[in-house]
Structure 1
């Protein structure tokens, strides 16, 4: 994710490239957040590794126990390294795609900031802050599309590895036994049909590396939603600003409907976040130049990645779960 964190009055148009002056304080903050996110991802990865080793579905008890390891037996968190390193690699390459696209177009941007959080995945993702104007549609597209394209390129081989080493555990898809049921993106369904024909992807227990790829796909699809200042929003705005305006207005309502229909309660959070983004005043781009054909093909590729990664119900907790 890349967020333009300036008011409209601060984004004056410049004819000369903005010199890039990285802030030492920002670098220190980015390193601290990365370390904290590594810790929370190790905790999450440990419970995925334990479940995989025991051929069991996810357990909330095991999840809570992983947090006690953090201060009682920190070396026990080494089992979470495959998950943590895979997920952080996907997120870091995603954000570095944005970062170097900004460098290429002489746009000032911060280092990637990771968001540590003690949830099931160990993080809410990462983002960069853009500190200078984006002057052209080409630059806007490159900044928005570079992250998902690069991150997806790292997530796919990790998911392939995960499917190849997945275990058949039928109870995973049974609401009467599973404490949490993970959604299945289209890409995972295709890989399952190719590598495990005749087996439902919901009954496959992914190893930690595969689960990290699943999280990477989830975050990629959420970032590619074509609204506001999400990556997909930048892409759509570079193609059609008016359509971007309508999309940013209507899609939050669609997310609320998905939540009301019982797909995933997390859609309420995303609807609120997108609506909050609408209050950030972003300087307009006075560029009548349309995107070239290569970038238009890139937009179609980004749409394909979104369709392969998106899940209407990423997580489902059966009512019988505690």
Structure 2
């Protein structure tokens, strides 16, 4: 872990050696991004097809048609709005973490994207932190930067998508897959398309990508373990980190029973990963009052993005 300073030694007096990022890491990061671009374009083409046909997306033909764009490359073009929006949100999130790490001289990898033939074409993106974090201030800023920047990109994208969304008759509003509605989406619909019931609004593919970004933001801000929300919790109240993390994992179980079984998977993952947080180099320096107040920003973003039932099958 490196040297542990005495309580009177400020963390800023320590400079952890920065390991150079090998060219191979950059090549891998770029390669994964390119592959993910194609997988999200293929997924976006499915959303675009449903949107053009005035249909809500479902599972009935999604996987059977997923690889069609690879046989008919022209179909990739229709997936551009979805893919660019989703990749932009995920990249903004990871770059928020990356540049916060650079600011505090924390050794971190380039953002790595995970391509997958799923409903959205990816399993997300991540960076790996390869050196200890100095103090609560650095941990807080690093953890908040990702969700905050991603949220600031997702909300305008969702607003534009709502403006371009179609109104469909009630008879067509019966999909095999229903997406939940986060509070921020509801507020934007009330402001931009007042008087139109949510069930009658066919969201533009760009909005589907923004929805995914908001959902990912909510998941990352769960105050547990080593998620972004867990890092923020540790920076604000490290002595309560384990107890709150365990409580969050337990709370996901009734949510899984009542709303969405996927919460059970998240509860198991949190329990499997554990609730021990890596110690800081300078654990004695308290978090300043300004950042304690800013923690309300993370809570607000979480409330705006969280959905008890993100999917209804």
Please, what TM-score do these two structures have when normalized by structure 2?
0.91
The yes-or-no answer on 1:241 pairing with 2:232 is: no
**2: CA distance, partners of 1:60 / 1:259:** 21
Query: Mean alpha-carbon deviation: is it higher for 22-31 or for 178-187?
Result: 22-31
Alignment-derived partner of residue 282 in structure 1: 278
Deviation at 1:296, TM superposition (A): 2.3
Unaligned runs of 5+ residues in structure 2 are 6-13
Count of residues paired in the alignment: 305
Residues 196 and 19 of structure 1: is their aligned pair in 2 closer, same or farther, counting only changes over 3 Å?
same
Is the alpha carbon distance of 1:165 and 1:264 closer, same or farther for their aligned partners in structure 2, counting shifts above 3 Å? same
Distance in 2 of aligned mates of 1:173 and 1:156: 27
What is the correspondence of 1:1-322 to structure 2 with a 5 Å cutoff?
10=1, 12-13=3-4, 15-171=14-170, 177-261=174-258, 263-278=259-274, 282-317=278-313
User: Taking structure 1 as reference, are residues 172 and 245 closer, same or farther at Cα in structure 2, changes over 3 Å only?
Assistant: farther
Per the alignment, in what secondary structure is the counterpart of residue 126 of structure 2? strand
- 79-88 or 54-63, larger mean C-alpha shift: 54-63
Between 139-148 and 277-286, the greater mean CA deviation after superposition:
277-286
Detail structure 1 runs of 4+ shifted over 4 Å in the superposition. Answer: 10-14, 170-174
Q: CA deviation at 1:167?
A: 1.3
Further displaced range: 281-290 or 158-167: 281-290
Q: How far is the alpha carbon of 1:170 from its aligned partner?
A: 4.5
Contact 1:110 1:131 in 2 (8 A): yes
Instruction: State the Cα deviation string for residues 232-289 of structure 1 (Å, max 9, x = none).
Output: 111111000122211211211111221122x112112211221222177723554232
Q: TM-score, normalised by structure 1?
A: 0.89
Q: CA deviation at 1:299?
A: 1.2
How far residue 135 of structure 1 moved from its aligned partner, in angstroms, is: 1.7
Closer/same/farther in 2, CA of residues 11 and 58 from structure 1, 3 Å limit: farther
Cα distance 1:245–1:286, how it changes in 2: closer, same or farther (>3 A)? farther
Give me the whole-angstrom Cα distance separating, in 2, the residues matched to 1:172 and 1:11: 64
